[in-house]
Structure 1
Amino acid sequence: MKALDEVVDVLVVGSGGGGVTGAYTAAREGLSVALVEASALFGGTTAYSGGGGMWFPCNPVLVRAGVDDTLDEAFEYFHNVVGDRTPVELQEAYVRGGAALIEYLEQDERFAFKILPWPDYYGTVPGARADGMRHIVSKAVPDERLGRFAGRVRGPLDHERLGASQPDLLTGGRALIGRFLAAMAGNDAVTAHLHTHLVDLIVDDGRVIGAVVEHEGESRVIRVRRGVLLAAGGFEQNQAMRDEFGVPGSASDTMGAPGCTGAAHRAAIAAGAATDLMDQAWWSPGLIHPDGRAAFALCFAGGIFVDKAGRRFVNESTAYDRSGREILRAMAAGTVGTPFWMVYDSRTGEQPPVMATNVSFSPTDEYRSEGLWREAGTLADLAEQIGVPADTLAETVRRFNELADRDDDEDFGRGREPFDRAFIGASPLVPIDTPPYRAAAFGVSDLGTKGGLRTDVHGNVLNTAGDPIAGLYAAGNTMAAVSGEAYPGGGNPIGASMVFSHRAALHMARG
């Protein structure tokens, strides 16, 4: 046995939305906590989120605003979308647990939230909210309020990928992480360790009693009295694991944080944990940038995607995971290549009509020099540049323009659901008729893998026989997603991560 370095009540592995929620809850309930983060900064993938949204129906912020909704209606919607792919009791725990979590957090004045309307992603499913009134975000917070954690929050993406300056005001997912860190900064019962990797779990007579971690090449042992919470994200950054479990896409194109390498998955599997959904991720179309990486993109104010034959194949404006899955199906069928192309015109200039790129546009010349953006005076010339039949592309554009003139996409339903129109304030059916004609290269991106450890409603990890492993908990993308193979609404990944981390900490606090 290695020399004992630390004894705490709870060890939390990972510092994204789930990790900090679990650490905060455990500490608030009087437990000592060690929070370990594999990378150099706190926040995980949550800190990359521009909104940092939480899908928490009927929470106090919404109730105070007079939103007319019920948890029964919200659960009807969620279950209609997810079906029986995941245990119904887990779905109930999530949908009904968000409001209680916000009530718990608002008892602490260091937390503050606001509404950010974000329509549900399956707008025609019974129970869906077209007005987006199930979605909230954290209010911004100055970095200076984070005390000992000031300057330690990861992101934004433009800072890490483009070298942009890091703002002092934390917004979006960074604000959510920041408020949790600020709430723990003055608590001596919380120790936090960066550059600290999970190596293995320590199991004694079927119970997890601690973990071996590595800090700057040195192994340490952290023993726990109550349990270990694994909230270390997915394995999206680990190409070997993606290949092993058949997750489409590439580690180079994920939006996941650097520490999302699957170490927590591996350690738990070695301890007997059962897994599910290991071939799944939160997918999206990805605009390819000059560095060769495809990055999550949404809110398309025009343009069409075309396949190898020059035909449309998807509702371009549908919720990103839905369109991402359609793109992957087409790629698997061999009708869509990598890259595939968005075709648009010059009515708004050279940039493709993408309102939210997550990683900001680089100078136009860089896309041109890399062959990622093409332009031509005619559709026939553009077709030649992107390798599709000229006559088919011309007919595709003619047909799309006809549908745009009627503002009714009877081919793919673009614009028929609230999400399709919500963020552009107009129809996404914009004619392509202003030369020069243009094309931008796209691939598939993801927000992280969603396969992971099977748990009960307390976040307690289950073994392959379906029984809880004493002392072991999971949440976030380390846990098999409660939403199964679907993505019901914005704020579902962060929201579920927070709820099950909170429930896990409460379960450990009760002993």
Structure 2
Amino acid sequence: MTVWNEEVDVLVAGTGGGLAGAYTAAREGLSVAVVEATDKFGGTTAYSGGGGMWFPGNPVLRRAGVDDSFEDALTYYRAVVGDRTPVELQETYVRGGARVIEYLERDESFAFHMYPWPDYFGKAPKARVDGKRHIVPAPLRAAELGELSESVRGPLSTDRHGAPQPESLIGGRALVGRFLLAMSKYPNVSLRRNAPLVELVVEDGGVVGAIVEVEGVRTAIRTRRGVLLAAGGFEGNDELRQRFGVPGVARDTMGPSGNQGRAHEAAMAVGADTDLMDQAWWSPGLIHPDGRAAFALWFTAGIFVNQRGERFVNESAPYDRLGREVIAGMANGSVTLPYWMIYDDTAGVVPPVQASNVPMVETEKYIEARLWHTADTLEELAAKLDIPGDSLAATVIRFNELADKGVDEDLGRGDEAYDRAFTNGASPLVPIRKGPFHAAAFGISDLGTKGGLRTDTAARVLDTSGAPIRGLYAAGNTMAAVSGTAYPGGGNPIGASVLFSHLAVLDMLDR
């Protein structure tokens, strides 16, 4: 029999979008213990540059006069996701985001802005190419959060390069900060760092608590209402990545190192079912001198070529779609790592990457690491990359012809709204003519795994027979993604995490 060290209404594991559940519990009068596996709050959410949420029809958008409907948004979402996930789960997400923002905006701690970001499948029916299904949290001054601001993860410039903490929290850090600020008003919340959840406790067929290692000491926490697992994915665990067939390696993920899949394993040990375990939120990754490939987007020029010196992908496509094309090429042998961005000297030696997420360091370090190369001719550049010179030259000639036409007849670059999001609607086809010519090494990165525990529309975790496990809930990347193998639009991961964490606690209130 378990000897309990303490008892609360709700236990929340994870401090990214899972904080929405903790906040809801506290606001509704429940006692809640929040446990974070690492020394910082925020999880992968805190590394998001925008902290966006894809919530069609929410009050922020309505106040801005956006004319949209849930039916249109559902038409788009279903067209993109298909039947890979239950229709009722998709509908819960598309319709539920507006209600959770209404709930949060009743608290002055929260503020959001519309930030147009095109849907990622612009040719799908009812896509919003104007991006008006997307909102972001308003920046938060660190002084408003006080000492808690120092406990928020990130930004990446600080964590990877030791840069000073900025005076304001923006993007995902602002969202995390606002949840922490809101919860600080309630006495019924405890926040603990360095406290991973390692085991669930089951009595009479239901989860009644968990074992948490608080600073290395096993602590048994009993729950009266439920346990919410929102502890991120398992992208930081190479053994689990290999077991479930997730391409790439832990070194190259954008998730924090604490995302080891402990919550997944604890749930599977008590009979939880899983889905999408070979999936992640993919992206191309600029390789840095430390050897790590990091999420990069907003390419203002350049083309990607494989080891044959040939283009193989629409370089301006949404990052997950682009990443999946790289992985498909790796699977069929047409792409090996690294692949190369080829660009000319119009803007100099630094690659035309406007959002490297992990800030670039000194140019000399990339050159010394043989990650960036320069040559007077394309043939000389190809020799440095060990790819066929005649093939690379022919590829560039062909691309320049397409750029002059303004239409990518080969790979469709520029055919969708997202492709032109960073060029103010202009063609992203920029010719490569001015020598010397340059190459930068790229790999595959991810924003975290998206495989996890199967849930119903109340975020209740399901067992392998499809029945809910009493007292156990999941959200975020610990939950099998509602979007299946697709990435419908920016803000889907954080949006789903916030919504299903909130819904989990609303269900607990009915228990």
Partner of 2:5, secondary structure, is strand
Instruction: Map 1:24-423 to 2 at 5 A.
Output: 24-147=23-146, 149-423=148-422
CA distance in 2, matches of 1:261, 1:191: 23
Contact 1:146 1:185 (8 Å CA) reproduced: no
Deviations 1:265-303 (A, max 9, x none): 000000100000000000000000010000000111110
Shift of 1:2: 5.0
The yes-or-no answer on 1:448 pairing with 2:448 is yes
How many Å separate the matches in 2 of 1:206 and 1:249? 37
**Contact 1:13/1:36 (CA < 8 Å) preserved in 2?**
yes
Residue matched to 2:427:
427
For 2:427, give the aligned amino acid.
S
Give the deviation of 1:195 after TM superposition.
0.3
Using the TM superposition, give the Cα deviation of residue 147 of structure 1 relative to its aligned residue in structure 2, in angstroms.
4.7
Give 1:290's aligned amino acid.
P
Residue of structure 2 in register with 1:501 after alignment: 501
Q: Which moved more, 1:45-54 or 1:422-431?
A: 422-431
Q: TM-score, normalised by structure 1?
A: 0.99
Whether the 8 Å contact between 2:195 and 2:216 is mirrored in structure 1 is no
Q: Distance in 1 between matches of 2:66 and 2:76?
A: 17
Q: Distance in 1 between matches of 2:327 and 2:488?
A: 19
Tell me the equivalent position of 1:8: 8
Distance in 1 separating the partners of 2:198 and 2:94: 33
Residue type of the alignment partner of 1:6: E
1:33 partner amino acid:
V
For residue 3 of structure 1, report the CA deviation from its aligned partner. Answer: 3.8
Distance in 2 (CA, whole Å) between partners of 1:471 and 1:149 is 30
Output one character per residue of 1:215-235: Cα deviation in whole Å (capped at 9) or x when no partner: 122110110000000000000
- Residues in 1 aligned to 2:445 and 2:276: alpha-carbon distance in whole angstroms: 18
CA distance in 2, matches of 1:111, 1:217: 34
Shift of 1:186: 2.4
Matched to 1:433, the amino acid is R
1:308 Cα deviation from its structure 2 partner: 1.3
In the alignment, the residues of structure 2 paired with residue 189 and residue 126 of structure 1 have an alpha-carbon distance, to the nearest angstrom, of 46
Equivalent residue letter for 1:429: L
Q: Is the 1:148–1:185 contact (alpha carbons within 8 Å) kept by the matching residues of 2?
A: no
Partner deviation per Cα, 1:439-475 (whole Å, 9 max, x = no partner): 0000000000000000000000000000000000000
Aligned-partner Cα distance in 1 for 2:332–2:389? 22
Deviations 1:63-100 (A, max 9, x none): 00001111100010011000000000000000000001
Structure 2 gap segments, 5+ residues each: none
> In the alignment, residue 83 of structure 2 is paired with which amino acid?
D
Given that 2:117 and 2:130 are in contact with CA atoms closer than 8 Å, whether structure 1 keeps it comes out as yes
Q: SS in structure 2 opposite 1:159?
A: helix
- TM-superposition CA deviations, 1:345-400 (whole Å, max 9, x none): 11011111111100111110000000000000000001111111111111100000
Distance between the aligned counterparts of 1:386 and 1:369, measured in 2?
14
Shift of 1:30: 1.2
The alignment of Structure 1 onto Structure 2 pairs a total of residues equal to 510
Query: SS at the partner of 1:125?
Result: coil
Secondary structure at 1:4's aligned position in 2?
coil
Letter in 2 for 1:368: I
TM-score by length of 2: 0.99
Q: Give distance in 2, aligned partners of 1:330 and 1:289.
A: 22
Q: Is the CA contact (8 Å cut-off) linking 2:37 and 2:193 kept in structure 1?
A: yes
Give, as a single letter, the amino acid of the residue that structure 2 aligns with 1:361. M
Distance in 1 between residues matched to 2:186 and 2:146, nearest whole Å: 11
Q: Which amino acid letter does the alignment assign opposite residue 421 of structure 2?
A: A
* Mapped contact 1:138–1:176 kept (Cα < 8 A): yes
Hey, what's the Cα distance between the residues in 1 that align with 2:421 and 2:147?
Answer: 40
The alpha carbon displacement at 1:148 in A equals: 5.8
Q: What amino acid is aligned across from residue 181 of structure 1 in structure 2?
A: L
1:437-476 mapped onto 2 (5 Å cutoff): 437-476=437-476
The answer on whether the counterparts of 1:147 and 1:186 sit within 8 Å (CA) in structure 2 is no
AA aligned opposite 1:491:
G
8 Å contact kept, 1:98–1:499: yes
Q: How many angstroms apart in 2 are the aligned matches of 1:359 and 1:501?
A: 29
Secondary structure in 1 matching 2:434: coil
Q: Any conservation in 1 of the 2:120–2:490 contact (CA below 8 Å)?
A: yes
In 1: Cα distance, 2:396 partner to 2:253 partner = 31
| Counterpart contact for 2:27–2:186, Cα < 8 Å | no
Instruction: Give the RMSD, CA atoms, in angstroms.
Output: 0.8
Instruction: Supply the AA of the counterpart residue of 2:55.
Output: F
Q: Secondary structure at the match of 1:278?
A: coil
How far the C-alpha of 1:307 sits from its partner, in A, is: 1.0
Give the distance between the partners of 1:63 and 1:187, measured in 2 at CA.
30
Partners of 2:283 and 2:267 in 1: CA distance? 28
Q: Any idea what SS the aligned residue of 1:196 has?
A: coil
Amino acid at match of 1:354: V
Alpha-carbon separation, structure 2, partners of 1:100 and 1:324: 32
CA distance in 2, matches of 1:148, 1:342: 43
User: 2:341·2:441 contact (CA, 8 Å) conserved in 1?
Assistant: yes
| Structure 1 residue runs without a partner (length 5+) | none
**1:424 shift after superposition:** 2.7
Once residues 326 and 23 of structure 1 are traced to their aligned partners in structure 2, the CA distance between those partners, rounded to angstroms, is 38
Q: Which of 381-390 and 468-477 deviates more?
A: 381-390
Amino acid corresponding to residue 38 of structure 1 in structure 2:
A
CA distance in 2: counterparts of 1:2 and 1:207, whole angstroms: 14
